[in-house]
Amino acid sequence: MPGVFTASEIVEIGIRIEENGRDFYKTLLERTKSKKAEEIFKFLAGEEERHIAVFRKILDSTEKNESTESYPGEYFSYMNALSNEYVFTQKNQGSRIAKDAKGDKQAVDLGIGFEKDSITFYEGMKKVVREYEHKVIDSLIAQEKNHLKQLSGLKKEL
């Protein structure tokens, strides 16, 4: 079935999402004039870098995972649909999008959207990694939710 991912490919997409996130926040860091925004963008860029390392560790141990599906390939099709709609799964998009942002408010709105999309993607990822890795993915999801909270707070301050 064309367009279907393996578990390792889905984890690699997670790595790409985090790389784009890191590049997005690093570029925003260079462009902002707000000290508070600078502090948060720097923190978030570092968080994305740590997430890359976590996903690389998962990738090293990823095997084919047999999940209960309504039809063969259900979860991989779902992940394919998600990744096709999510701009941060496309290589080298983080910096480009950050450069196109018209000010800190728009940048923060974009960041909020990306964090929400990441959470959705990682929830789906849990279906294709081994069960003992769910705890790691859950931890990353919790961190992404914290990033959302920080960005929402920053948005109120701007």
Q: pLDDT (tens digit, 0 to 9) for every residue of the chain, 158 residues total?
A: 344 456 677 788 888 889 999 999 999 999 999 999 999 999 999 999 999 999 898 888 765 444 555 666 666 666 666 666 666 777 778 899 999 999 999 999 999 999 998 898 888 878 777 787 788 888 889 999 999 999 999 999 98
Report DSSP state, residue 90: S
Q: How far is CA 60 from CA 13, 21, 26, 112, 122, in A?
A: 14, 22, 27, 30, 17
Count of residues in the chain: 158
Domains of the chain with bracketed CATH: 7-157 (1.20.1260.10)
End-to-end CA, the chain: 47
